[in-house]
Amino acid sequence: MTPLLARRTSPQVAAEAHRATLVIPVGATEQHGPHLPVWLDSLMAEHVAQQAARRVHERSGQPILVAPLISYGSSHHHLPRAGTLSLRSTTLHAVLDDLLDSAADGGFRSLVLLNGHGGNQDIVHQAVRDLTVRRDVRAAATSYWTPAWERLVDAAAAHGVGPLPGHAGSFETSIALYLWPDLVDAARVPDAPVTGEWDTRHPLSQPVVEQHDWVHRLGGYSDGAVASAAAGRSFTEEIITGVAAFLERFCADAPAADTEDGDEPGCDV
């Protein structure tokens, strides 16, 4: 069973919160080219959070809960294209502050923001830094592609797909073809190849360069013709495996919590 916070009663959450890790998936609603749904980043954040948490719970019995998805993110750079519903970066940061504080008020001492949109990345990182200054909790933030980055690079090379993670390119198109093929407009997948070699270093290892009024000509990388469900299956498995391993390590390293009703402290690793 997927450990969903939304299906617990308040007393059930209260009994688990002091020793459980709460995972909050953070997505976006934004244009993804002419062929992918605007909710793709949210779909991925939610799917990965739930599947990775279920894997951790079933494998080790660790107490872990997944909160309802935050489906709006910082996407103002996509506003020139229809379907984008965006929060200002300051608004998203304030929303995360409130939700994280709420979770801490409810007894959670171990919290993870699992991000599915590149535009949110700096904000989720700052949110957990700020939280741990305000509150006596342990918190982490990661984008779903980060824990498995090297394995994703290898999988991309094996399938002739890239760049990673990109935007509405062959990486995301492959995942959508595997998980939600009915949501892909196959007749409108851009087929122009990306020119030149793409940098396989993780985005966080590179300088940030921005330009006013940036938007992709086609709404994404125009390399969708090399996308495949087979590549998407490889990517999805590597992502869930990587995120699950990260969650297990995070929970295992958590400090002991005050116990209630004879429960063992901390995470049950």
The domains found in the chain, sorted by start residue, are 5-200+211-252 (3.40.50.10310)
SS3 251: helix
Tell me the average pLDDT across 121-136: 97
% helix / strand / coil in the chain, to the nearest 5? 45, 10, 40
pLDDT over threshold 70, residue 252: yes
pLDDT tens for residues 36-74? 999 999 999 999 999 999 999 898 888 899 999 999 999
Contact 153, 164 (CB under 8 A): yes
Q: Which two tokens stand for residue 146?
A: 């980060």
Whole-prediction pTM: 0.90
Tell me the average pLDDT across 88-106: 98
SS3 65: strand
Question: Considering only 96-105, 146-155, 185-194, which range has the smallest mean pLDDT?
Answer: 185-194
Percent of the chain with pLDDT over 90: 67
Quick one: which H or E segment has residue 64? strand 64-66
pLDDT tens for residues 219-241? 777 677 789 999 999 999 999 99
**Alpha-carbon distances, residue 67 vs 13, 23, 62, 147, 157 (angstroms):** 11, 6, 16, 20, 34
What pLDDT score does 50 carry?
A: 97
pLDDT tens for residues 132-142? 999 999 999 99
Tell me the average pLDDT across 136-159: 96
Contact 107, 65 (CB under 8 A): no
Contact 239, 51 (CB under 8 A): no
**Alpha-carbon distances, residue 162 vs 25, 171, 173 (angstroms):** 25, 6, 11
Omega within 30 of 0 (cis) for the link into 163 = yes
